Structure 1
Amino acid sequence: MSKQTEERRKTGRKFGEAAGASGGKGRAGKSGGKSRRGGITPVKVAGDRNWGQIALFTAVAVTCVAILGYTGYQAWYSGKSVNERVGLIDGAKDYRGKNPDKLGRQHQPGSLKYPHSPPVGGNHNDIWQNCQGDVYDKPIANEHAVHSLEHGAVWITYRAGLAKSEVDKLAKRVRGKDYTMMSPYKGLDMPISIQAWGYQLKVDSADDDRIDAFIKSTRRVASLEPGAGCAEGITVPGDKPRNIPGGQQPGQPAPGQPAQPGQPGQPAPPGGAPQNG
């Protein structure tokens, strides 16, 4: 057996075939195929974001900021004096700080003159006007109203002939709220005027937000007699003051006058019927 034949038997190559030609070609083909398939990296598409959780987190964050802001504002506002609070209201007049000497506090009978209209303070009648959220449909006496202001009441007045819708909006601010009262007022130079002791705000419309700000700033806190109440005052309208003897309650008759059955503190009606009030 020749050397060439022996070599072919050992290597498995045919006669004349170059060494490594077949194997190299096969391996190169496989390697090239894998390279082409594996060379493209697939793009991973992110899933949809959870917008519900994002919206919830945002809402909670906004609410927390609002609460903190409101709490901070309340703390800041509560530290302000009544003068400073009123000073934040555009158009509000501070007669208390500018001319305190003009706001006397003596009890005087009869009709009195005031430098401001409606009055914001000064000497006044012994008896105050009831100011437990009372809505009077007719004018009330300045002298009784000023005494109510001294107790810390806010008095809303409006021009005669003001639209009913406007009057109703004002009444909603008064009914059921202690230390407030309202009534029509003759000769107003603007449709609506609001008074507290030493302070005044005049506006054109019942929708004016400054009305609420004024009430919040002065109701009770503008009192010169902290703790003085609004009950047991004059409960009827009338632009002339009632001169009631000292120590006599507004609901009681004057000395020598007959008692009216059914009135507080008076005998019951005949037959034992229960008394009113």
Structure 2
Amino acid sequence: SGPHYPYPAAWGIYKEPPADEFLVHNLEHGGVIISYNPKQIKDQELTQLQQQARSLSYFNGRIILTPRLNLDTAIALTAWNYLQKLNRYNSTAVKVFYDTHIVRGPECQQGLCPG
């Protein structure tokens, strides 16, 4: 939580990270943000992570995959009030985190979230 812009970033996969002030709003709207450190993740793992993010977005598109150079681990899974760090790609951990936290932000009511 914290100060944020009045509108969220577009959902999807990013090559350049959106400003944190956008991302906080995405979390508030029930999104899951997957951040990765390009220096700590192997190319094959990143490809798998991108494929999984696309696949998860078909279920519910409230997902952002973004690089984060100052990340102290390979991958960080973030939802409103939740953070899970991964030293390497783990498809099961990503899926469980997503299933547990998607559409659970403070602005969501019974699974319905704004923009």
Superposition TM-score, scaled by structure 1 size = 0.37
- Counterpart Cα distance in 2 of 1:157 and 1:136: 10
State the Cα RMSD in Å: 1.4
- Counterpart Cα distance in 2 of 1:216 and 1:208: 12
1:209 to 92, 98, 107: 92
Letter in 1 for 2:42: A
1:185 to 39, 44, 68: 68
Deviations 1:186-241 (A, max 9, x none): 21111100100110000012125222111110011x21112212xxxxxxxxxxxx
Q: Secondary structure of the residue that 2:54 maps to in structure 1?
A: coil
1:128 to 1, 4, 8: 8
Q: Could you list the structure 1 runs, at least 4 aligned residues long, displaced by more than 6 angstroms after superposition.
A: none
Report whether the alignment pairs 1:147 with 2:33: no
Letter in 1 for 2:5: N
In structure 1, runs of 5+ residues without a counterpart are 1-120, 230-277
**Aligned pairs, how many?**
106
2:105 to 223, 236, 246: 223
Q: Which has the larger radius of gyration?
A: 1
Q: Any conservation in 1 of the 2:31–2:79 contact (CA below 8 Å)?
A: yes
Q: Secondary structure of the residue that 1:173 maps to in structure 2?
A: helix
- Counterpart Cα distance in 1 of 2:30 and 2:102: 6
Alignment of 1:59-208 (within 5 A): 121-131=1-11, 134-161=12-39, 162-175=41-54, 177=57, 178-208=61-91
Deviations 1:236-276 (A, max 9, x none): xxxxxxxxxxxxxxxxxxxxxxxxxxxxxxxxxxxxxxxxx
Deviation at 1:173, TM superposition (A): 2.2
- Counterpart Cα distance in 1 of 2:100 and 2:43: 27
Q: Point out which structure has higher relative CO (alpha carbons under 8 A, 6+ apart).
A: 2
Q: Secondary structure of the residue that 1:183 maps to in structure 2?
A: strand
Q: Secondary structure of the residue that 2:64 maps to in structure 1?
A: strand
- Counterpart Cα distance in 2 of 1:164 and 1:125: 32
Superposition TM-score, scaled by structure 2 size = 0.85
Q: Any conservation in 1 of the 2:15–2:67 contact (CA below 8 Å)?
A: yes
| Fraction of identical pairs, as percent | 27
Q: Any conservation in 1 of the 2:33–2:79 contact (CA below 8 Å)?
A: yes
Q: Any conservation in 1 of the 2:75–2:89 contact (CA below 8 Å)?
A: yes
